[in-house]
Each structure stands twice: as C-alpha cells, then as structure tokens.
Amino acid sequence: MKKVLLIANLFHASPRIPGITVFLPEFGWQATVITPPVDERARQVLGLSDEFFAKTIIVDADYPGDIFWFWRKICTWLGLRTDESITQQIKKGFHVKSKKSIIDRLLIFYQEIFGYPDSEKTWISSALNAAVSCIEKERFDAMISSSPYPTSHIVAAKITRRFGIPWVADFRDPWTENPNFLFGSIRKFFERRLEQKVMRMAKKITAVAPAYAEATARINNRRVEVITNGFDPAIVNDPPKPLTKKFTITYTGTLYQGKRDPKNLFIALRDILESGEIAEKEIEIRFYGKHQSWLQAEIEKYGLGHVAMQKGQLPRLEVLQKQYESQILLLLGWGSEDSPDAGVYPGKIFEYFAARRPILVVGGPENETIKKIVEQTGAGKGMARADDVKKILLEYYDEYQTTSTIAFRGNLEKIDEFNNRNIAEKVVRVLFSATNEKDC
C-alpha cells in the first residue's frame, strides 16, 4: 500500500478531501491527513463518516484560530450571535447597507496588513511540525495539499523542499487570480510572486473547474489538470425519501450579496404570488446556512416574508435530509458573461446530484457552466432572467398540482461520472504521474 500525506484544513476541505480519501485504498493508496483538530461537534457539522475515519489516518495540528480570533471573541462577549456573520451584525447595528462601507474597508485593510499570505497563517507552524513528525516515523510516496487557504500549499512547499516528497497542489479556488481577491495592487504583486515561487515546487497542479485551471495555469505558466468535486455514493437518495407536502424550493450553503444573489427568483415569485397563480400557503422557499441580514432585507423588499425563510445552519447530514425532501433544489448563478466565475462548478451542485431532486439554477450569465451541466445531465434547468424563472416555476407547479411531486429526470449514467470513487481514481492517476510511476 502506497502512502500519501495530505495537508488540508478539513473545515474548508470537506466534503472534497474526505470524499476522495475514503476511496484511495481501493486504488492502493493510504491517506494521512494533517488538519486542525476535529472534535465530535465539528465531525457532525461537517458530516464526516465513520468510514472516513476508518480508512484515513487523521493527525491533529493545533490551530489557535485565524487572525480574527481575538476580535471575534470580543464580539461574542458583547453579545453578538455566532450563527450570523459578525460583520453583518455590526453593519446592521450601525444601519449600514453598503458593501463598501467604512466597516468593510477596515476589515479588508486589517487582512491586507496582518493576513499575508492569508488569514489562517497562524496554522503554518503547527501543521509543519505535525507533518515533519509523521515523515520522521514513516515513508510517504507522495503529498497533496488542498486550498483554500494557500497556507496548506505553503506548508507542503516547505515539506517537499526539505524531504523531496513529490507534491500535488490542489486548488479549490484560485490563489491570486481569485475573482474575489480583496486587496490592492501592491499586495497582489507580492502575493503573486509568492504563489509562483511556491508552485514551482509542485510536481502537479489540479483545480476543481476549467476556469480555475486556466487562471492558475496562466499565472504559473504550467499545465493544470481539472479534477472536479464529486458526491459520495453513500448519500445518494435511493430509494427516494418522502417529499414535503408544500411546493418547496430549498437552498443550502453560503450566499454572497451581489454575486450569488436570489434577486431574480424573488422577482419571479413576487409576480406569481401577486397574480394568484400560486397561493402563498402552498409554497415555501427555504434557505439553510448562516443568517444574512441583507438576504432578509431582500425577502422583505419583495414582500416574500410569509413564504421565504432563513432556517439557519444545520449539521451536514440534516441538510442532506432537507435536500432529499424538497420538491426543487435551488442553485444561484455567479458572475457576469466575461467573469471567470462563469466557468466554475460549485461544490453544491454535486451534492444536489446525490439528492436526485430537480435543480433550478437562477441568475448569473446565460453561458454559465452550472447551467450547462444541469441541462447536459438532465438534472434540472438553468434560467438567468426573472421572466424565464417565472415560466419554469409555473411549469413545475403545474406538475406538482397534478402529481403532488416533481419528477427527477436526470441521466444517472452521466451523473454517476461525478461520484467520489471516480474522482478518487483521477486523483490516483495524478499521484502516479507525480511520482513518475505507471498506473498499474
């Protein structure tokens, strides 16, 4: 059995990394994961399975918290909620609605000065020490680091420089070419130089989407392979769970004001409810994730307070149950026509594939990759404009009224290409290539 050392913060790298490592032993590889400590509560929130812990060696590396840990503690002492963005709560307290307020600027400035190369740099020393301790006890044939944040890549670069272990750098988001890079040109200049220096040490580089692969390849002047996220075959909704009685649309995960925005859905729903084509008592829009004050303001703005609700954060396994029972699963488009985000596969889409419920993609550009993939797999519909969203919602509602359910019409053979076993097989091929060995 070959051995691979994995540098990844599971709080950010789940479900991708746990989903892959479970299947590595089938292909002759055993994974040891260096991660901040994962307690029982975190295990439940992340939905980490018993199989993951049985097939993967977990090594805890102490993590004092990111560069905001002290200020976050003060805010909680002052009575701010932990289940809602602290930034949003502060802005709400000062009646600030702008995305470019003085509060936002101060937070960015603090990160720009004290968070180089990222806000989790406090983990570098302990992760490196934990990795060195493992390497001194046993031989590893290869190493993988997974970001965000680039801290994981920096640790891996130090290890490969010291021990010569072939290293694969896995990007779940680009580094300096991230469309959401917050900082100015000076910071970007030095951080780009750091990225290029660090990535020269990697034998192979992978990314989760074509757009991210292209951006990373351009900066580092080398080939980047695409290995998408996937879904755990163990969580497939088969046989299908009972559905809600209401015409339910469910969104799970994070929203980003102005980018991953449900505005077009809200416009369509407002028009439908005002026309009486769907009664308020028959429809429910559910958002599961951290409470967002701007989202609540949008819900109220469009008069949807009785049908659209923020349900808060739930452990991952409970979130999956909410997906299984929903009539429709909602994805939100991201970016403009010329944005790199138009070529992104969000990890949520693969989890939705496992739920086997119809997916509705709302907003974003017409050519967005997620719209193409849901239509190519038959898993749902992609609608950019509010008028088109309204049309497809009414079509779905007619089906719901007739049969009390909306049928899932996905092509299971195409969807199964994205299960984690197949993703793990692609990772193994890259590992063999990085170690200059033939895949046997």
- Residue 165: closest CA among 4, 333, 376: 4
> Residue 235's pLDDT band (boundaries 50, 70, 90)?
very high
Query: What's the pLDDT score for residue 345?
Result: 77
Query: What's the pLDDT score for residue 440?
Result: 35
Query: How does pLDDT run across 354-396, given as a tens digit for each residue?
Result: 999 999 999 877 778 888 899 999 999 988 789 999 999 999 9
Mean pLDDT rounded to a whole number for the chain: 90
Query: How does pLDDT run across 400-435, given as a tens digit for each residue?
Result: 999 999 999 999 999 999 999 999 999 999 999 999
φ/ψ of residue 3, rounded to 5: -125, 135
Rounded to whole angstroms, the Cα distance separating 160 from 202 reads 8
Per the DSSP assignment, residues forming a β-bridge with 380 are 359
Contact of 361 with 332, CB cutoff 8 Å: yes
Residues in CB range of 76: below 8 A, 6 or more apart: 82
Tell me what the mean pLDDT of segment 342-350 comes to. 78
Q: Which of 42-46, 167-171, 192-196, 317-321 has the lowest mean pLDDT?
A: 42-46
Contact of 33 with 21, CB cutoff 8 Å: yes
- Residue 426: closest CA among 144, 225, 156: 225
Query: What's the pLDDT score for residue 94?
Result: 63
3-state secondary structure of 311: strand
> Residue 83's pLDDT band (boundaries 50, 70, 90)?
low
Query: How does pLDDT run across 170-180, given as a tens digit for each residue?
Result: 999 999 998 77
Written as one letter, the residue type at 190 is F
In this predicted structure, the answer to whether residue 219 has a pLDDT above a threshold of 90 is yes
Rounded to whole angstroms, the Cα distance separating 396 from 406 reads 7
Contact of 228 with 350, CB cutoff 8 Å: yes
Query: How does pLDDT run across 192-213, given as a tens digit for each residue?
Result: 999 999 999 999 999 998 889 9
In this predicted structure, the answer to whether residue 86 has a pLDDT above a threshold of 70 is no
Tell me what the mean pLDDT of segment 99-114 comes to. 82
Q: What is the largest CA-CA distance in the chain?
A: 70
Query: What's the pLDDT score for residue 4?
Result: 98
Query: What's the pLDDT score for residue 372?
Result: 87
> Residue 84's pLDDT band (boundaries 50, 70, 90)?
low
**Where do the domains of the chain lie, and which CATH numbers do they carry?**
2-64+119-230+419-434 (3.40.50.2000), 69-114 (no CATH), 235-416 (3.40.50.2000)
Q: What is the DSSP letter of 39?
A: -
Instruction: Please spell the DSSP secondary structure of 366-419, one letter per residue.
Output: TT-HHHHHHHHTTSEEEE-SHHHHHHHHHHHHHHHHHHSS------HHHHHTTB
Residues in CB range of 209: below 8 A, 6 or more apart: 226, 228, 343, 344, 345, 369
Query: How does pLDDT run across 269-290, given as a tens digit for each residue?
Result: 999 999 999 999 999 999 999 8
In this predicted structure, the answer to whether residue 162 has a pLDDT above a threshold of 70 is yes
In this predicted structure, the answer to whether residue 320 has a pLDDT above a threshold of 50 is yes
Q: What proportion of the chain, given as a percentage, has pLDDT over 70?
A: 92
Burial of residue 116 (CB within 10 Å: 0-12, 13-18, 19+) is middle
Query: What's the pLDDT score for residue 268?
Result: 96
In this predicted structure, the answer to whether residue 337 has a pLDDT above a threshold of 50 is no
In this predicted structure, the answer to whether residue 161 has a pLDDT above a threshold of 70 is yes
